[in-house]
Amino acid sequence: MPYQPLDARYQTMPYQHCGASGLQLPPIALGLWHNFGAVDRFETAREMLLHAFDLGITHFDLANNYGPPPGSAELTFGRVLREDLAAYRDELVISSKAGYLMWPGPYGDHGSRKYLVASLDQSLRRMGLEYVDIFYHHRPDPATPLEETLGALAQIVRSGKALYVGVSSYPPELTREAAVLLRQLGAPCLIHQPKYSMFHREIERGLLPVLAEYGLGCAVFSPLAQGLLSDRYLDGIPADSRAAKPHGFLKREQVTAAVVEKVRRLQALARERGQSLAQLALAWVLRHPEVTTALVGASRPGQLDDALGALRQRGFSPEELARIDAILAD
């Protein structure tokens, strides 16, 4: 039976503007970093993508190297788009990135014009798209002049292969330079994608003010610290968890007794607030006005329902924030 999205999918999602732009994004978006590659079941991936859209999640975030193996997440997404979501393309905000190794030789990595343009062409073919809504440079490349990298992004916008461009994992001063240069090139930087969670707070020390100053949006990745900020690891490392997978970025040795104790204390606070720990962690990153959206991964549709529950209680009292800071500082 052909997929038919829910008619009510836009009724409850509180979309918010991406920085100073006219583009609105859902505060919870689906990232395809894990669980959408060739190592996972296609039907499960399809179910998650369609369930996300039914919930009003319109933003799907990819990159050339997402999988594993690299490229396979885009192939999976492209198949779902072709078979189920093609009629709704204009309701979706699809992003991809380039900046990590994708093919052998000197032109398959980093930040050259050669690499960025070729990589996006490959991504478009994998997904069956004429354009992406947002294209990011995935990480800084000190060996390539910033003017070349950003010139390639501006060229991509002029070519119609991306509507907007952004940067990911750029430090504050480089973000400032990128914002100025892209504005001069006629392709303003729409958004920055940094890592941010209770266990990774660097953006609070300089990046957030830069984003506010230049009107950039912010899509934070790993807001649940690869699942640590959930109940997944309170009783050991499950066999199907990220820490148990050989291709995962969360390693067994990161799930220490000290980390688990902090998670237990944070979970206690979440329960007092009537939230799951994941909901507490998502509400905490979304408390900043500069943060447009939090990118969540999922291995089953129910995790998306839980994530959206964070939007019911996003505020924190000064006492609650002080208590969180004390837990994280111990």
Instruction: Report pTM.
Output: 0.94
Q: Is the pLDDT of residue 245 over 60?
A: no
Q: Is the pLDDT of residue 247 over 60?
A: no
Report if residue 2 sits inside a domain: no
> In the chain, how many domains are there?
1
The average pLDDT across 252-266 equals: 83
**CA separation, residue 88 to residues 5, 10, 74 (Å):** 9, 13, 17
Report if residue 8 sits inside a domain: no
What does 275-297 look like in DSSP terms, one character per residue? --HHHHHHHHHHTSTT--EEEE-
Residue range 58-72, pLDDT digits in tens? 999 999 999 999 999
The pLDDT score that the predictor gives to residue 20 is 98
Q: Is the pLDDT of residue 250 over 60?
A: no
Residue range 229-243, pLDDT digits in tens? 988 766 555 544 454
The pLDDT score that the predictor gives to residue 232 is 73
Min mean pLDDT across 35-44, 96-105, 187-196, 208-217 is at: 35-44
The pLDDT score that the predictor gives to residue 251 is 55
Q: Is the pLDDT of residue 5 over 90?
A: yes
Residue range 167-181, pLDDT digits in tens? 999 999 999 999 999
Decide if 28 contacts 282 (C-beta within 8 A). yes
Other CB atoms within a 10 A radius of the CB of residue 6 amount to: 13
Report if residue 120 sits inside a domain: yes
Report if residue 5 sits inside a domain: no
The pLDDT score that the predictor gives to residue 227 is 86
Q: What's the mean pLDDT when you consider all of the chain?
A: 94
Decide if 310 contacts 283 (C-beta within 8 A). yes
18 confidence band (pLDDT: 50, 70, 90): very high
Decide if 133 contacts 92 (C-beta within 8 A). yes
CATH of the domain at 181: 3.20.20.100
Residue range 81-139, pLDDT digits in tens? 999 999 999 999 999 999 999 999 999 999 999 999 999 999 999 999 999 999 999 99
**CA separation, residue 59 to residues 62, 114, 316, 328 (Å):** 10, 28, 26, 31
Residue type, 281: A
The average pLDDT across 147-154 equals: 98
The pLDDT score that the predictor gives to residue 82 is 98
Structural domain boundaries, residue 33: 17-329
Pairing of strands 189-193, 59-61: unpaired
255 confidence band (pLDDT: 50, 70, 90): low
Report if residue 3 sits inside a domain: no
The pLDDT score that the predictor gives to residue 30 is 98
Report if residue 63 sits inside a domain: yes
